[in-house]
Structure 1
Amino acid sequence: MEFKLGEFVRFVDERMEGYVTRIISNDMIGVTGEDDFEIPVLITKVTRVHGHKYPGAAEQYQADTPAPSETFESKGIFLAVVPDQNKASVVHFHLVNDTSFQLLTTLVTDKAGISKGEFAGSIQPHTAVEIYSSNLSDLSVWPGFLIRALYFSKSNVAIPEAIQYSEKFKARDFAGAKKKVAQLNKEAWIFRIDEDDLVIDPEKLKESFFKPVAEKKVVEKPSAQIDLHIEKLRDDYQFLSNTEILKIQMDHYKKALDAAIVHKLPSITFIHGIGNGTLKQEIHKTLGRNNHVKTFLDARKEKFGYGATEVILK
């Protein structure tokens, strides 16, 4: 019998039950009970408990999905990583198709040069399908992911090139805040699979080559300390949603960091406050991927407490 992560099982010879939180081998799984202690057990010693709903890999989520717009949507394919509702150590990967295309999709994992097919199927427009599950505690040994998708539609529209998305996830990829996914009605870490089209205006590009030096934009040198508290950035902050506030703060941070890199500053400090930690997490996530950043650390606690990050630039 094949078990999947997140399924509820009961021991055959003992009065114990719990959720599958690890696939150890073809013959053994890890089961975690109410005490959050994981027990390795042979699959012959447990049985699946029916009545505990487990969304299989082929299940498509359509509940609470907004009705498709009248316009044909050609962009919007995401990988949503959702913590298990029973055991947060387990995460489920869903491919979210927010386009008007039908997607013919495969997922292949690669570990030490050995490839394994994990999912193959069709994903309907404006739906989501679970394609993989894993344990976050095993993240360091997760395989690499390769997702391929072909677009299909009977409408008279241009068919985009096939998607090929590869990723080897790291801990910092899950440091940011989760976002609500309408198709799943759940919070998830989001990874974009398709990219927005890069629109180039030939005339504007031509004009940029012939602009006088005086007309070119000058990047101002930023101060050594950037305060990202929203009240320092906007006067109307009382009327902004949390999402709008985070976007404004992140835009200001990115602009200041780019300016510091242009002016070759040795370091720059961002004052983000403590709050719920979302802004700090988002900043640290982008810093970990920036090739111009040597390292980053908590700024001097005697001056900023725990509410600032110092960035050391290369």
Structure 2
Amino acid sequence: MKFNLKLGGRNHVLDTLKLGVVGQKKTMVVGIDVTHPAPGSLSKVPSVAGIVASVDECLGQWPAEIRIQAAGQEMVADLEDMFKSRLRLWETGNNKTLPENILVYRDGVSEGQYDDVVRQELSALRNACMKKYPAPATKAGKPHITIVIVGKRHNTRFFPTKQEDADDRGNPKNGTVVDRGITEARNWDFFLQSHTAVQGTARPAHYYVVYDQIFKNTKTARGLEPAADALENLTHNMCYLFGRATKAVSICPPVYYAHLVCARARCYLQHLPDFLSPPKTDAKSVGAIITGVKPDDKPDSKRLEIYSTVRDKMFYI
């Protein structure tokens, strides 16, 4: 399965009606994540930003772009250039045109940084679109952008109140959505347990919509669909399209892939002293001894340049 993805193939497909606005061949789905060095690492060890994006309505291939940035910086510094490269792939593929909708799933953001995402990263996406889209399209307000924050590290769990609603491990059945009662009263968020836990208690993912221009006017084959239903159904259905699994995964594939991209980039930066310093020991000298690099070495962005023949494939899977 991984080999097929690396060669540019796709392992799973869904019926077009299951993909909502994505199935209309006008929507690009994007995943963004940033990983940081472990606590105690040297200050010169950078954070890594990764972005993946679909290239067609099948959601089978997700080429990626990676960058390094200042340690601990959560907002993506080079998002404008990274996103322009994703638009290029969409346009030069089978689509022959730029997408009308951009659906972004953003991982790794704390609640206190939601406004920063809208203020900084949405602006970067808009700037990239201004440079890639023709003037008539931008004047018409295209593309429409929706940004959804995906949270995994929380303490919320659900349990079924009836035995017939539980799976064989006592968890709610996969596809369970909770969007009222315990969610925000004035904002749009929901919990989705898209997977079946192999062992223990299933942990749902928390999806928080910080900006929406797509789903408030979503039209499907059945007519005008409520925005909440459209996004929740699409998000759950996408969880069946993760390329290296045969079942639904716990978070939607764009975020999952973006996390894998950042993890792979960490492997390319192993020459840096990214480690926990022993107590009462000079971290710089230990780093030089263990890694064989000088304490003043700076992150080399060239180590993250992917070879041209595999750059537009899922090299990270």
Shorter-normalised TM range: under 0.3
The structure whose residues are more often strand, as a share, is 1
Q: Which structure has the higher relative contact order (CA within 8 Å, separation 6+)?
A: 2
